[in-house]
Amino acid sequence: MNKIQITRVGIIGGGYAGMAAAVALAERGIAVTVFESAKQLGGRARGVLHQDTQLDNGQHLLLGCYRQTLRLIEQVGGNLEHDFLRLPLQLDLHGEFSLRAPHLPAPLHLLVALLTAQGLTWRERLSAARFMLGLRRMDFRLPNDMTVAQLLAQHGQDANLAQKLWEPLCIAALNTPIHKASAQVLLNVLRDALNQSRADSDMLLPRVDFTALFPQRAANYIVQRGGKVILCCGVEALIPKDDGIELVTAQGTEPFSHVICAAPPSVAAKLLSPITQLDSTVQQIEALQHQPIYTVYLQYPAHVRLPHPMIGLHQRFSQWLFDKGRIAGQHGLLAAVISAEGIHQELPQEQLAQKVIAELREEFGIAESPDWFKVIAEKRATFTCAPNLLRPSHQTALPALLLAGDYTAGDYPATLEGAVLSGLRCAKLIPA
């Protein structure tokens, strides 16, 4: 094999982490090759075509504070005005709870939102506002991590507040039930979303599918700068060498000075496990547990609409409903999202869809039947974001091998921003 003198980076995985790393390296003029095992880019945030209708593998939501993801989308040619429906912070649980942030600077917008929330008693509103002020005084840092349920109990947040406000927020942000979720990680998200500028708490609902939104544009950007993005080309093995790492695929073996493994945790553990120096990293990855996200898409006649682009339900199977007509002009297409573990996992998909259809009828009077429905169950959507979780660091025992992905060390739960940040950190660790 030729000795590698220049920096040549191989990236395993064309999800948001891998593509973020590739864009940052290509920007610096470094030669990158992205290997993606699937026939399309995006990984756990990808477009899915069903019956000629463009769906995603699950309805996603970005926050205004996802600065790096939004910056990269623009860098590769996206237009945030066009790509997203941007809504100011609002949480509606149909008929039960409603919170809307007024046009005031942060964090005043949140305090007023809490103090005027519908569906809470005055005592609960004051208690929620006091809790937020207390967290601000603590700079959103806990001396010791604990579960979200423990934190809520310590701060006197009663069951009604927990069920209507904090639990839906925690599940949406961490995809982990409050009795298992890390309070510190939730506070990291609240710190960034609620505490600085009002726009940070905006909710951005994509109008284009998740492959088109960033990874596909990123691929064009990389190729224009001399890089390669190879689809349907899974990496089968890594072979450490004195001067780098060789990647083995069905197409052959290629040498690289550095490799960023941005595959999902289960694949990363499998690829790394034959390399004994990486035993402790593999153990950390294997110790992670995972949480599902189910999305039920339903195509109703075009006139069927929900009262808002996004609306929650209280104590129902459907946690959040999205009206894709209002969001992206896909009239009559609704998406029901069911995050984290729960009894819905025990139902066959047909039955789960029927539950959602019944809920839509009971809550909104939608009497029609959908023309079709599609349930997409992502059984390992995210890692379980537990307190004091040891997440593998980006650097490994092999100096030429870096780890990226939403599950690697970082402040954020498994999110697009967490994935993107991990990719950018790995790119930064690679010298020119």
Q: Which residues sit at the interface with ligand FAD, rule CB under 6 A?
A: 12-18, 35-38, 43-45, 57-58, 60-61, 234-235, 262-264, 267, 293, 295, 378, 381-382, 405-406, 414-416, 419
Least spacing, CB of residue 380 vs ligand FAD, in Å: 8
CB-CB contact of 34 with 227 (8 Å)? yes
Query: Cβ closer to ligand FAD: 106 or 376?
Result: 376
Query: Residue 158 or residue 378: which is nearer to ligand FAD going by CB?
Result: 378
Q: Which is nearer to ligand FAD, 53 or 160 (CB)?
A: 53
Q: How far is the CB of 225 from ligand FAD (least distance, A)?
A: 20
From the CB of 285, what's the least distance to ligand FAD, in Å?
Answer: 12
Least distance in angstroms from the C-beta of 25 to ligand FAD: 15
User: Which residue bears the tokens 């790119």?
Assistant: 427
Cα 200 to its chain centre, rounded Å, is 16
SS3 of the chain: CCCCCCCEEEEECCEHHHHHHHHHHHHCCCEEEEECCCCCCECCCCEEEECCEEEECCCCCEECCCHHHHHHHHHCCCCHHHHEEEECCEEEECCCEEEECCCCCCCHHHHHHHHCCECCCHHHHHHHHHHHHHHHHCCCCCCCCCEHHHHHHHCCCCHHHHHHHHHHHHHHHHCCCCCCCEHHHHHHHHHHHHCCCHHHHCEEEECCCHHHHCHHHHHHHHHHCCCEEECCCCEEEEEEECCEEEEEECCEEEEECEEEECCCHHHHHHHHCCCHHHHHHHHHHHHCCEEEEEEEEEECCCCCCCCCCEEECCCCCCCEEEEHHHHHCCCCEEEEEEECCCHHHHCCHHHHHHHHHHHHHHHHCCCCCCCEEEEEEEEEEEECCCCCCCCCCCECCCCCEEECCCCCCCCCCCCHHHHHHHHHHHHHHCCC
Identity of the residue, 161 or 401, whose beta carbon is nearer to ligand FAD in the bound complex: 401
Choose between 120 and 181: whose C-beta lies nearer to ligand FAD: 181
Tokens of residue 89, six digits: 């912070």
- Count the alpha carbons within 13 Å of 392 in the hemisphere toward its beta carbon: 31
Output the CA–CA distances (angstroms, integers) from residue 331 to 324, 328, 357, in the order listed. Answer: 7, 8, 17
12 vs 24, beta carbon nearer ligand FAD: 12
Distance of alpha carbon 178 from alpha carbon 197, whole angstroms: 27
User: Which is nearer to ligand FAD, 400 or 403 (by Cβ)?
Assistant: 403
The 10 Å Cβ neighbour count of residue 402 is: 27
In the complex, the smallest distance separating the C-beta of residue 121 from ligand FAD, rounded to whole angstroms, is 31
Nearer to ligand FAD by Cβ, of 12 and 185: the residue is: 12
Closest approach of Cβ 201 to ligand FAD, in Å?
A: 14
Q: Which value, in Å, is the radius of gyration of the alpha carbons in the chain?
A: 22
β-bridge partners, 297: 335, 374
Shortest Å distance, C-beta 16 to ligand FAD? 4
Residue 376 CB, shortest distance to ligand FAD, in Å, is: 7
Q: Which is nearer to ligand FAD, 300 or 383 (CB)?
A: 383
Query: Of 151 and 174, which has the nearer Cβ to ligand FAD?
Result: 174
Q: Which is nearer to ligand FAD, 278 or 293 (CB)?
A: 293
Question: Taking the complex as a whole, how short is the minimal distance between the CB of residue 301 and ligand FAD, in angstroms?
Answer: 26
In whole angstroms, the minimum distance from the beta carbon of 107 to ligand FAD comes to 22
Distance of closest approach, residue 193 Cβ to ligand FAD, in angstroms: 12
